[in-house]
């Protein structure tokens, strides 16, 4: 009979509710404790450091990409000018 009651309680929604009621205050104490608070603060601070490092690397990549793009445009424009000059020479020869 006890097995049947345990199966009923463990498998029901009321078991989930009761476990939540039991664990809720325990979780609140853990969140409010000084040692947990220090851990949360340190974790967030490290997260901010990671974000700053990532942002710096991303800015460096963007700058390099901009430099490459500017250089490619300059080469393209130079080639276009040479091509235009060659076409103009051919037209003048005719």
Predicted confidence (pLDDT) per residue in 16-52, tens digit: 677 777 777 877 787 788 888 899 899 999 999 999 9
Cα separation, 48 vs 42, in Å, equals 10
Domain that holds residue 57: 44-94
Number of folded domains that form the chain:
2
Q: Is residue 92 situated within a structural domain?
A: yes
pLDDT over 70 (residue 5): no
pLDDT of residue 8: 58
In this structure, are 55 and 26 located in the same domain?
Answer: no
pLDDT of residue 64: 96
- The set of residues, in sequence order, having a beta carbon less than 8 Å from that of 86 and lying 6+ positions away, is none
Are 20 and 14 in contact by the 8 Å Cβ rule? The answer is: no
Q: Give me the helices (H) in 1-94, please.
A: 2-10, 13-32, 34-93
In this structure, are 54 and 10 located in the same domain?
Answer: no
Q: How many CB atoms lie within 10 A of CB 15?
A: 13
pLDDT of residue 34: 87
In this structure, are 53 and 89 located in the same domain?
Answer: yes
Tokens of 27: 């979780």
What is the per-residue pLDDT across 82-93, written as a single tens digit (0 to 9) for each?
A: 887 788 777 777
């Amino acid at each position: 009979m006890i097995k049947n009651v345990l199966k009923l309680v463990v498998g029901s929604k009321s078991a989930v509710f009761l476990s939540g009621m039991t664990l809720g205050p325990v979780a609140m104490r853990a969140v409010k404790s000084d040692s947990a608070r220090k851990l949360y603060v340190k974790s967030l601070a490290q997260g901010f450091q990671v974000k700053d490092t990532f942002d710096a690397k991303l800015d460096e990549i963007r700058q390099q990409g901009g430099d490459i793009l500017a250089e490619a445009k300059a080469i393209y424009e130079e080639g276009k000018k040479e091509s235009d000059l060659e076409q103009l020479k051919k037209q003048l020869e005719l």
